[in-house]
Amino acid sequence: MKELQVFTDYFRRYIDLNEEEVQLISSVIRIYQVKKRQFIVQPEFICKYRTYVFSGAFRAYLIGNNGHDHTIAFAIEDWWISDYSSYIFQEPATLFVEALEDSVVIQLDYNSEQLLKESHPKFEKFFRIITERSFAFLQKRMLSTLSKSAEERYEDFIKKYPKVANRVPQYALASYLGMTTEFLSKIRNKRVSK
């Protein structure tokens, strides 16, 4: 099964796996097809899965008191997405996680992740590494939001994530970058005319 091979190869970037551990992983995951516009997480429901994107694209967002949505994260192939606060603390979610394309995901439920960590210390190491990397990314994003202009944030994003920029709707990208769709259009038009 191609999905399992890709998933275990992802683990092998950070830890060694033997055949028994590959079988253990395959016994606790689910491979799931998600249609465009389908939600895999919704507010007020507990997020039961950590989700790895095998194919497709997602966005995580919340709706503010003013009714505007605020995109928190994107995920495409080989990325993870979830409402991590809900998942880790097993409390009601605050985010929507929506498929932007027809997608295939590999999901690991909370209890199975705990079992993996308790039974094999290397899985504890794996999840620590990806969590540290996520935290470092979020810190960089927060510092960028606080210290860079809208144009600089857009330029940084399209340089670092050109595949994402071409696949997500303009309104979602504008929301992620902290600007209106109209302002993002002006930035793009100015960039094209240079």
pLDDT digits (tens, 9 = 90+) for 102-117: 999 999 999 999 999 9
The reply to whether 44 and 77 lie within a common domain is: yes
The reply to whether 119 and 160 lie within a common domain is: no
For residue 131, what pLDDT is reported? 93
Task: Look at residue 52 and tell me if it is in a domain.
Answer: yes
The reply to whether 134 and 181 lie within a common domain is: no
The reply to whether 109 and 190 lie within a common domain is: no
Count of domains observed in the chain: 2
The reply to whether 71 and 102 lie within a common domain is: yes
Task: Look at residue 120 and tell me if it is in a domain.
Answer: yes
The SS3 of residue 59 is strand
The reply to whether 47 and 118 lie within a common domain is: yes
For residue 139, what pLDDT is reported? 94
Give the Cα separation of 66 and 19 in Å (integer).
52
Give the Cα separation of 3 and 15 in Å (integer).
18
* Cβ–Cβ < 8 Å for 139, 131: no
The reply to whether 55 and 95 lie within a common domain is: yes
For residue 194, what pLDDT is reported? 64
Domain carrying residue 157: 148-194
The reply to whether 29 and 87 lie within a common domain is: yes
The reply to whether 88 and 16 lie within a common domain is: yes
Model confidence, pTM: 0.92
Q: CB-based contacts of 57: which residues, under 8 Å, 6+ apart?
A: 74, 75, 76, 99, 100, 101, 103, 164, 167, 168
Which tokens sit at 106?
Answer: 């590999």
The reply to whether 93 and 157 lie within a common domain is: no
Task: Look at residue 143 and tell me if it is in a domain.
Answer: no
Task: Look at residue 17 and tell me if it is in a domain.
Answer: yes
The CATH number of the domain where 28 resides is what?
2.60.120.10
The reply to whether 10 and 69 lie within a common domain is: yes
For residue 1, what pLDDT is reported? 79
Task: Look at residue 76 and tell me if it is in a domain.
Answer: yes
The reply to whether 115 and 42 lie within a common domain is: yes
Q: Which regions of the chain are under pLDDT 70?
A: 194
